[in-house]
A and B are shown apart, each in its own frame.
Chain A
Amino acid sequence: MSEWTISALAEAIRTRRISPVEITRACLERIERLDPQLKAFITVDAEGAMRAARAREADVAAGALRGPLHGVPLAYKDLCHVPGLPTTCGTLTREYFLGPRPCTAVSRLTAAGAITLGKLNMTELALGPFGENLHHGDPQNPWARGHVSGGSSSGSGVAVAAGLALGALGSDTGGSVRLPAACCGIVGLKPTYGRVSRAGVMPLSWSLDHIGPMARTVRDAALLLGVIAGHDPEDATTSHRPVPDYVAGLDVPLGAVRLGVPENYYFDRLDGQVTRAVESAIRVLEGLGAKVTPVHVPDPEIVSGCSNVLARSESAAIHVRVAKDRPHELQETVRLRIEVGYHVSAYDYLQAQRLRARLARELVADVFDKVDVLVVPTIPEPAPSYDAAKAGTAQERVQRMGRFSRLTRPFNGLGLPALSVPCGFSLDGRPLGLQIVGRPFAEARALRLGHAYEQAAGWTTRRPGAL
């Protein structure tokens, strides 16, 4: 079960070597056996999944496949509104988010044949990079129990890494797809702002939220992205730009791709194991024909500061009811971050909106004129233990959160596509991640480079041992 990729499974179902019922049952049995310890799921929809599996099996028998994900079991972060299932958003409230419409991304995956296993654990209200959850249990890193799985899409990272689901959706406002992908040794992609619809997803910050795929391989992430990307009339921020065939693009020769390695910020204050793993990954990419170019990037602290102004204001406006009416239900760090938003001025908010457009233009002009992609680490250190992540006062914990997401957050403010791929392990076996960042809408290029690296490096063939 844990050896399947989405691509291989979809092919096996098409050629009738395995049935949707068999694979769905295997996933549900694995969830029943492992999830009481791993805490990846908030809701398991065993009955609905088996009903869908039988329907997809009947489709196969009739020779009527729905699409490229026919019969593939997936699961979704519990902030996607899926009709018939509760959406807690990681809170104590069973029906926290009741959207007027279903999640477009999930609807597209279902229309392509995917089977919904259930809804995945997450940081409360998606506010935090470690993935802990007081109400539904702390998701356990499959590679190192007692350690964080990264967040806020923590259940998504755990479910995919542990082979409970073939792939998952996460949301990313400051790194929440890429951080759990890196911590759990899987692939995660934050697409360009506007590439994937957020309709039917609980918002945290309208200006910074992105929906992205999480999977075991770059090919699987490309396949999922191809299904969920594209304009959606229900989300006015989505682009009308055509969606390329991301999977076909993986096998296009790399050519002399120009690899930008930042001289400032992204390699400061890293754990030495991360530095060595990323430098080694860069050498592998050089071996594949990439030309490494040192670049100076405009100060990421500015875009991060600008993003914090937007995120605090918008999350306070969105979640004001729970924060004011039932503050005792919220984790202290979540409440603290929301409260900041009440006091940010409209002047600061509007200036931040104006500034980020300039920052995006400047980065594209200054950096992507010289290089095709940037490569930087995803996490500054291997996934810390929960004891370490939770130590200290609320203020200290908030500062620790900021440090852990400092390498991913700038690309939310800039709206750029950023892919995280596994790039090795710490000495004690915790996964590490490499980010490949492209210019706007250049997901295909990032995926192509990530795929080539993945094939050469071989990290994604490893599985957590203790499962």
Chain B
Amino acid sequence: MPDTDRTVKAQVADLAAIIERTTADLSLAEEAGSFLVALEQGAGDE
């Protein structure tokens, strides 16, 4: 297997591992599109 292919596969595996490790407790209510709402709700008085 060429070095580039190994590098790409290793990076993809690293990314998948991060997601596996950090998203196990996401609730059903946590939607993919709620980021903009989080920002608007996190704004202060300014």
What residues of chain A have their CB less than 8 Å away from a CB belonging to chain B? 192-194, 207, 237, 239, 241, 244, 302, 305-306, 308-309, 312, 336, 339-340, 343-345, 347-348, 350-358, 360-361, 364, 368, 393-395, 398, 415, 439-442, 444-445
Report the minimal beta-carbon distance from B45 to chain A, rounded to whole angstroms. Answer: 9
CA distance A368 to B39 in the complex (A): 13
> Do B18 and A192 have beta carbons less than 8 Å apart?
no
Q: Which residue in chain B gives the minimum CB-CB distance to A442?
A: B46
Contact A192 B39 (CB under 8 A): yes
Check B4 against A394 for contact (C-beta < 8 Å).
yes
In the complex the two chains form, is A354's CB within 8 Å of B31's CB? yes
Known: A244-B46, A360-B39, A440-B39. A394 touches B23 (CB 8 A): no
Complex Cα gap A383–B46 (Å) = 35
**Taking A351-B19, A355-B22, A439-B42 as contacts, is the C-beta distance between A394 and B7 under 8 angstroms?**
yes
Choose among B9, B32, B38 the residue that contacts A360 (Cβ–Cβ < 8 A). Answer: B38
A336 touches B8 (CB 8 A): yes
A302 touching B31, Cβ below 8 Å: no
Q: B37 — which chain A residues lie within 8 A by C-beta?
A: 357
Question: Provided the pairs A305-B22, A336-B7 are in contact, do residues A343 and B12 lie with their beta carbons within 8 angstroms?
Answer: yes
- Rounded to whole angstroms, the CA-CA distance of A35 and B36 in the bound complex is 40
Task: Report A280 CB to chain B, min CB distance, Å.
Answer: 28
Contact residue among B15, B22, B43 (Cβ-Cβ distance under 8 Å from A344): B15
Contact across chains for B40 and A241 when beta carbons are under 8 A apart: yes
Are A340 and B38 CB-contacts (below 8 A) given A351-B19, A354-B26? no
- Specify which chain A residues have a CB less than 8 angstroms from the CB of B14 in the assembled complex: 305
Contact between B15 and A351 (Cβ–Cβ < 8 Å)? no
Interface of B is mostly: helix
Q: Is the CB of A305 within 8 A of B15?
A: yes
Q: Is the CB–CB distance between A309 and B15 below 8 Å?
A: yes
**27 A-B Cβ contacts within 8 A?**
A193-B39, A194-B39, A305-B19, A308-B15, A308-B18, A336-B7, A340-B8, A340-B12, A343-B9, A344-B12, A348-B15, A351-B26, A352-B23, A353-B35, A354-B26, A355-B23, A357-B30, A357-B37, A361-B38, A361-B41, A361-B42, A364-B38, A368-B44, A439-B44, A440-B43, A441-B43, A442-B46
In the complex the two chains form, is B7's CB within 8 Å of A395's CB? yes
Provide the bound-state CA to CA distance between A343 and B18, in Å: 15
Contact check: which of B4, B18, B41, B42 meets A309 at CB < 8 Å?
Answer: B18
Residue of A nearest to B41 (CB): A361
Complexed CA–CA distance, A241 and B41 (Å)? 12
- Contacts A336-B4, A343-B9, A343-B12; A358 near B30 (Cβ below 8 A): yes
Give the residue name and chain of the B residue nearest to A441 (CB). Answer: B43
A352: chain B residues at CB < 8 Å are 19, 23
Q: How far is the CA of A351 from the CA of B11 in the complex (A)?
A: 17
Report the bound CA distance from A306 to B7 in whole Å.
Answer: 19
Query: A440 touching B40 by the CB < 8 A rule?
Result: yes
Kindly state the separation between the CA atoms of A444 and B43 in the bound complex, as whole angstroms: 12
Q: Is the CB of A354 within 8 A of B42?
A: no
Residues on the B chain within 8 Å of A442, using CB: 43-44, 46
